[in-house]
Amino acid sequence: AWIAAIVVGVFILALIFGGGSSREAYRSARGAISQRVELGQQRIDAAAQIATAQVELALKQAGELPAHEEKADAIVEGIEAISDALKDVAAARGDLALARLDATIALFNRTQEVVQEASDLATDPVVKAKLECIDENLNAARDQVTQAVLSSR
């Protein structure tokens, strides 16, 4: 009987001291998750910052389009909407930032469609070249955003 009591006592002590390692494992896992979330947030922030710079350049280029040019106002409005959406991304954190970043892709697509339509309608080669530069900047920004969304999932 006393042998059974010793075995049970050793078993209880093993559970008590063995529980510390599971607590450490929990803390390590929690730290790893926090690091991963922080890395994802840094990736989102960097993508938003780079995309914002490219969108601001496209907005400057769109401002140089002749006022009478067809769809010029729609292009500027689309780019401003993208810029505002990227500012919302920068203000958000976690899943909300990722969702907002993902939503900007649709804005990029719509605005680029308008730029393409304007390019098809333009007759002046200088205007066509400006529209092409705008499209390239928007495309580069959209690719940056897409990569950030895909790598954060």
Integer Cα distance of 90 and 48 in angstroms: 7
Residue type, 127: V
DSSP assigned state of 124? -
DSSP assigned state of 103? H
pLDDT recorded at residue 32: 52
End-to-end CA distance of the chain: 58
Question: Could you tell me the two tokens for 14?
Answer: 């093993």
pLDDT recorded at residue 80: 93
pLDDT recorded at residue 16: 65
Looking at the chain, how many residues does it have? 153
**pTM score:** 0.70
Integer Cα distance of 71 and 117 in angstroms: 8
Show pLDDT as tens, one digit a residue, over the chain (153 residues): 677 778 777 777 666 665 555 555 555 555 555 555 566 678 888 888 888 898 898 989 988 888 777 788 899 999 999 999 988 888 888 788 888 888 888 999 999 999 999 989 888 899 899 999 999 999 999 998 888 877 776
pLDDT recorded at residue 12: 73
85, 87, 94, 82: which is closest to 44 by C-alpha? 94
